[in-house]
Amino acid sequence: MSRILIVDDDVALARALGINLRARGFDVAIAHDGREALELLARVQPEVVVLDLGLPDLDGIEVLHGIRGWNPVPVLVLSARSTSDEKVAALDAGADDYVTKPFEMNELMARIRAASRRGSLAGAAPGPVVETAAFTIDLAAGVVRRGTDAIRLTPTEYHLLEVLARNIGRLVPREQLLRDVWGAGYEREGHYLRVYMAQLRRKLEPDPGAPRHLITEAGIGYRLMP
């Protein structure tokens, strides 16, 4: 049974989330402020943390820094803060995903399940072959295949896909992608990503206009979904 730590000062919302998660088989602990969250984190050792940023004692970003100082647990931010700058700040502080309030419960539960799967593999690097329903990425050989057919990618296209593959399922901020693929000083060149992601979708997605694997999180970054 996966253990989830909910951190939210909205008592009614935290209780509702707890009820929904327990009904789906999760073990749930709840904290209503940042200090309690950090204490519970050490005591209950959750597989996932669902963290509100607007806490009464510590700002959620401070709590994120406190968690990341010693614990790799996946953190899903659940917040009313909705600007891209606020989302990027949370991701840069160590959040793995970001959901804006108000939210659809089914989407949130899907994000939590995905984070729980990643949490169960914490510390493990992706295997040498990363698989999606449409294509596979052989990280050791540097080859992408659809079935048995190799797909020709440019070095930059492959490097971009490789960064996403090594973080499969996770949201990768666009600034991180730009640094990792093009280098320091390119963090503001977002059009590079738009161009190369469009090229990758044309080569890899069954329907490039409705991508299932190379997903854009508007204003934040990208993720590779299996």
Domain ranges of the chain: 3-120, 129-224
At 187 the pLDDT is: 76
At 1 the pLDDT is: 61
At 119 the pLDDT is: 62
The residue ranges of the chain whose pLDDT is under 70 are: 1, 118-127
At 56 the pLDDT is: 93
Distance between CA atoms of 52 and 196, rounded to whole angstroms? 34
At 68 the pLDDT is: 80
Sheet with 97-100: strands ordered across = 27-31, 3-7, 48-51, 75-79, 97-100
- Decide which of 3.40.50.2300, 3.40.50.720, 3.40.30.10, 3.60.21.70 is the CATH code for 3-120: 3.40.50.2300
Q: What is the pLDDT of residues 50-83, one digit of tens each?
A: 999 999 998 999 999 888 877 888 899 999 888 8
List all residues 6 or more positions away from 219 whose beta carbon is below 8 Å from its beta carbon.
84, 87
- ∠ CA 35-40-43 to the nearest 5 degrees? 135
Q: Is the pTM of this model over 0.95?
A: no
At 125 the pLDDT is: 47
At 17 the pLDDT is: 94
CATH code assigned to 129-224: 1.10.10.10
Number of H-type helices and E-type strands within the chain: 8, 12
Distance between CA atoms of 22 and 224, rounded to whole angstroms? 29
206 within 8 A of 150, measured Cβ to Cβ: no
